[in-house]
Structure 1
Amino acid sequence: MPVNRNALIRYRTIDQCLQNRFKKWTLDDLIDACSEALYEYQGINTGVSRRTVQADMEMMRSNKLGYEAPIIVVDKKYYTYSDKNYSITNSPLNQQDMQVLTEVSGLLKQFKGFNHFTDLNEMVSKLEDKIYSQKTQGPPVIDFEKNDNLKGLEWIEVIRKAIVAKKTMCVTYQSFKAREANTFCFSGYLLKEYRNRWFVLGLPHKRNNQILTLALDRIQTIQEDEEPYRENTVLDLATYYNDCIGVTKSPGQRDSEVVFWIDTANAPYVITKPLHHTQKLLSEDESGKIFSMRVILNFELERELLGFGAKMRVLGPRTLVKQIKEQLAKTLESYKIPGTETGEN
């Protein structure tokens, strides 16, 4: 059954709303959400009628699109899914979905090879692999890195919309070090991915007004807040993370020249995949190679360097060398077994 783009936007919007069980969704709430989505994606500002959203939910409940969504009404007022794990995005792709994906893939392939669209290459490969496995009903031929159990992914679209619309968010957040969660107003500026984890850079509405990076997997709730959004007037978001491995950084923090040696056998690994775009080869001999890079000293940098173990030795700066030595000493200490001298079984 043909479905136009506007209807698909409404279906996905209703689906996202009903997945969010932190809020009770009335029909008026769903109408407002669909109207906002159509304005954002299509520029349509005429709004959505009550009858349209009701018809959309009936269509989602049916098997005409293959959704059979378990939409129920609670207390004769609030809409939700009876199955908290349900989403129309988990439904198998139908023939129309396949046709749309094939058209999108063909369009994106036209941009492959252009410098401004190098980030599209992986996206196109993922899309083509999905289409191939769906058409052939066989296993995929590309296994991309992923973490299906990663928490916080449901907040990506919520935060992205808030950033685009310049809306303040009321965030309930609990870091790994905190004993209890904290709720505060937050103006988001940039979503950042690092090693399959997602973070949002922004400004908490507190007295200190310090830029903060929040991990999405530690966010418990997000709600739109009426407090005025605070514009970014300090950071160049396009270059903010250029001198950083990971996401741990403070505005104004200066980078350092990090120098490290790596043995001959493992040098090709950092040559073919540099630790940072500023990495340079300084010298080499039979034992190994010495590289340098200019980066912020942070936790992620230490973890990256420690991951090479005895195959790498940090030569500078002194503060980093000291920190690495301390971490290695703690590691050796943790392997010692009480009552023995060597720590061996």
Structure 2
Amino acid sequence: MPKNKNFQKRITVLDECFSSRTGLFTLEKLGEVLHEKMGFTISRRTIQNDIDYIRELIENNLSNISDIDKCPVFVPKLFDGKKTAFRYVHTDYALGNQLLSKPDQEQLEETLAILSRYRNRADFDWLDALFPRIETAFNLVHEDYNGLISYQSNRDYIGQSLVGKLYNQLLRKKVLRIAYQPFQNADSYIRIIHPYHLKQYNDRWFLFGLQEDDNYTGITNLALDRIQNFSETDKNINENIIDWGDYFDEMIGVSKSEGDLPIKIKLRFDRKRIKYVLTKPIHGASQKLDSSNSEGNVIWIEVIPNRELYQTLLSFGKDVEVLEPTVVIEKMKEHTQKLKEYYTK
């Protein structure tokens, strides 16, 4: 039987019904409870299969300690009117008191292994307390994937502790009063934000939302490491109408001013470097190889010319040349001229 999310939820609901000492649960009544909890109708046959699964699981555990014929799982000959009802003989039969089946144990071990990747993040410090309790309760020894695979992260990032807290605010849909201090400001100031989206870029996190105050009204982003504190307001949030996938497809990074539009940019790479650019695109949403170039080292991208675009181009050093348009060429000249001044003093 497939153990998908719906299956697990059905089993949990049925287990609660069978453990109850109040009320009688026939197949029809179980169907009503499942419909209420799940939001859709569950067939009679599916419920019967779920009951058989639960009975078999508990019987397997009982067979190790007693004669199953003398200790049935469900109360025999229990009726509600003329219809058979289901109730555990003992409340101790509840699945929470049963040993894990082999598949469930493997699934739990895999889940722990996945979660172990996040144990070094400040907003997941609760995992340090949870892991030992689960491992002790179920006698598990899981494989810690940290010893096998690494992910890029900045453990010392100041804004890391706010990721989980702000994510909860996105779910709660609360308008926030945020004290924000840009690097160039000596003091923080208040920004009223309707929060919509969190994005990580270049090992930093950014909160996107609608700013609504006397200084500015429109979509903006705030670096989490510059947020001093925040609190909820009693304002009603303006519903998000932005498709964030499309929003970020127009640019590299996170910088975008209202009215900014993407432009086509033509780039020529060193022939040794172009292979890296093709396997790891600068901008996957728009990057295309220029078919008219016989050497196969010219590409087109269509993005908003923001700060992150120039940082990306400069990271290639001498291995890239901007061919079009003039506005990007001139901006690159400014950057490279400044670099030249550093090394010709």
TM over 0.5: yes
CA separation in 1, counterparts of 2:246 and 2:161?
Answer: 26
CA separation in 2, counterparts of 1:331 and 1:186?
Answer: 38
Structure 1 match to 2:132 = 94
User: Aligned-pair distance for 1:226?
Assistant: 1.8
CA separation in 2, counterparts of 1:99 and 1:299?
Answer: 52
Out of 290-299 and 87-96, give the one that drifted further.
87-96
CA separation in 1, counterparts of 2:161 and 2:124?
Answer: 13
| TM-aligned CA distance change 1:143 to 1:232, over 3 Å | closer
CA separation in 1, counterparts of 2:253 and 2:124?
Answer: 33
Tell me which structure has the larger Cα radius of gyration. Answer: 2
SS at match of 2:336: helix
Structure 2 match to 1:156 = 163
Q: Is the CA contact 2:123–2:162 (under 8 Å) kept in the aligned structure 1?
A: no
User: Aligned-pair distance for 1:240?
Assistant: 1.0
Structure 1 match to 2:263 = 256
User: Aligned-pair distance for 1:159?
Assistant: 1.6
Choose the corresponding residue for 2:179, options 172, 177, 182. 172
| TM-aligned CA distance change 1:98 to 1:274, over 3 Å | farther
Structure 1 match to 2:306 = 298
Percent identity of the aligned residues?
30
Q: Is the CA contact 1:98–1:131 (under 8 Å) kept in the aligned structure 2?
A: no
| TM-aligned CA distance change 1:186 to 1:290, over 3 Å | same
CA separation in 1, counterparts of 2:209 and 2:123?
Answer: 30
Q: Is the CA contact 2:268–2:299 (under 8 Å) kept in the aligned structure 1?
A: yes
Q: Is the CA contact 1:168–1:186 (under 8 Å) kept in the aligned structure 2?
A: yes
Output the amino acid matched with 2:131: L
Choose the corresponding residue for 2:154, options 147, 158, 170. 147
Choose the corresponding residue for 2:210, options 175, 187, 203. 203
User: Aligned-pair distance for 1:147?
Assistant: 0.9
Choose the corresponding residue for 2:192, options 157, 177, 185. 185
Which 5+ residue runs of structure 1 have no aligned equivalent?
Answer: 1-41, 44-83, 103-129, 338-345
Structure 2 match to 1:228 = 236
Which 5+ residue runs of structure 2 have no aligned equivalent?
Answer: 1-36, 39-121
User: Aligned-pair distance for 1:179?
Assistant: 2.7
Structure 1 match to 2:288 = 280
SS at match of 2:269: strand
Output the amino acid matched with 2:283: H
CA separation in 2, counterparts of 1:92 and 1:264?
Answer: 52
| TM-aligned CA distance change 1:292 to 1:98, over 3 Å | farther
Q: Is the CA contact 1:259–1:290 (under 8 Å) kept in the aligned structure 2?
A: yes
Choose the corresponding residue for 2:253, options 246, 252, 262. 246
Structure 1 match to 2:340 = 332
CA separation in 2, counterparts of 1:298 and 1:236?
Answer: 20
| TM-aligned CA distance change 1:189 to 1:310, over 3 Å | same
Output the amino acid matched with 1:94: P
SS at match of 2:238: coil
Output the amino acid matched with 2:278: I
- Aligned-residue Cα RMSD (Å) equals 2.9
Q: Is the CA contact 1:257–1:294 (under 8 Å) kept in the aligned structure 2?
A: yes
Structure 1 match to 2:275 = 268
Choose the corresponding residue for 1:132, options 143, 160, 163. 143
| TM-aligned CA distance change 1:91 to 1:161, over 3 Å | closer
Once the two structures are superposed, the pairs formed by residues 1-40 of structure 1 within 5 Å of their partners are: none
In the TM superposition, structure 1's runs of 4+ consecutive aligned residues that sit over 6 Å from their partners are none
Choose the corresponding residue for 1:314, options 307, 315, 322. 322
User: Aligned-pair distance for 1:255?
Assistant: 0.4
Output the amino acid matched with 2:158: K
* Aligned residues between the structures: 222
User: Aligned-pair distance for 1:146?
Assistant: 1.2
SS at match of 2:332: helix
SS at match of 1:304: helix
Output the amino acid matched with 1:153: Q
User: Aligned-pair distance for 1:162?
Assistant: 1.6
Q: Is the CA contact 2:211–2:217 (under 8 Å) kept in the aligned structure 1?
A: yes
Once the two structures are superposed, the pairs formed by residues 62-77 of structure 1 within 5 Å of their partners are: none
TM-score, normalised to structure 2, is: 0.58
User: Aligned-pair distance for 1:151?
Assistant: 1.4
User: Aligned-pair distance for 1:231?
Assistant: 2.6
CA separation in 1, counterparts of 2:136 and 2:269?
Answer: 48
